[in-house]
Amino acid sequence: MSKPSTAPDAATIARWRADIQFSDTVCGQRFDFLSTWGLFSPEAVDEGSRLLLEQIADTVKSTDDCLDVGCGVGVLGMTLARWAPEGRSVMVDKDFVAVDYTRKNIERNALKNCEVFLSNGFAQVGDRKFDLIVSNLPAKVSKEQHYLYLVDAYEHLKPGGRFVVVTITGLREFIARSFKEVFGNYDKLKQGKVYTVAEAVRE
């Protein structure tokens, strides 16, 4: 039985299997990326991550130890590594493909103050403490999962440390309420039609 005539040809399939390569400038930092289909925003830096970074660009200290939870291809964690060269930038993801490609991107961009490993949320982070934790929080997870992120972020922050997230704007009221419940404070850094960036501080 022959394939339908509308099926992609072998050359197209091969092209889809090949690594996706793209370059982008994020808050003045130029990066070269490798990616693949199945990862979040595989062909470009997504708008939400860019918006988050724009809101904190002037507040990251050169010595900050940073954690990127749900790193994808590594854009948040790698940008923080550039901004905080005297600190350590840790990136985690529950997807082994994301971890693999983030590792490739760290090497591709010659970053030395980074590490990346597989972790379901904070599960493999151990007892490390950070000055800054960032996350592009997924929209399609349960409120229980979001609360676990918040509680674990609080436990892994140094006193005065910050947890900064970007979410779809539809989650802004839940994030405001849950930040106040877990951290005792909430600051909306930026609200747009699609995304909202919010911050909480471990006081």
Q: How confident is the model at residue 3 (pLDDT cuts 50, 70, 90)?
A: low
Residue 7 lies in a domain: no
Largest CA distance in the chain: 67
Q: Is the model's pLDDT at 4 over the cut of 70?
A: no
Could you tell me the pTM of the whole model?
A: 0.94
Residue 193 lies in a domain: yes
Residue 21 lies in a domain: no
**Secondary structure (3-state) at 38:** coil
Exposed, middle or buried by CB within 10 Å (0-12, 13-18, 19+), for 172? middle
Model pLDDT, residue 17? 87
Residue 148 lies in a domain: yes
| 20-29, 85-94, 138-147, 158-167, range with the lowest pLDDT | 138-147
Residue 3 lies in a domain: no
Residue 57 lies in a domain: yes
Residue 20 lies in a domain: no
Number of domains, the chain: 1
Q: What is the pLDDT of residues 55-88, one digit of tens each?
A: 999 999 999 999 999 999 999 999 999 999 999 9
CATH code for the domain in which residue 178 is found: 3.40.50.150
In order of 11, 99, 104, the CA distances from 72 in angstroms are: 27, 7, 12
Burial 23-43 (b: 16+ CB within 10 A, else e): eeebeebebebbbbeebbebe
For residue 107, give its domain range.
47-201
Residue 37 lies in a domain: no
Q: What is the pLDDT of residues 7-50, one digit of tens each?
A: 888 888 888 888 999 999 999 999 999 999 999 999 999 999 99
Q: State the chain's mean pLDDT as an integer.
A: 95
Residue 48 token pair: 């939400």
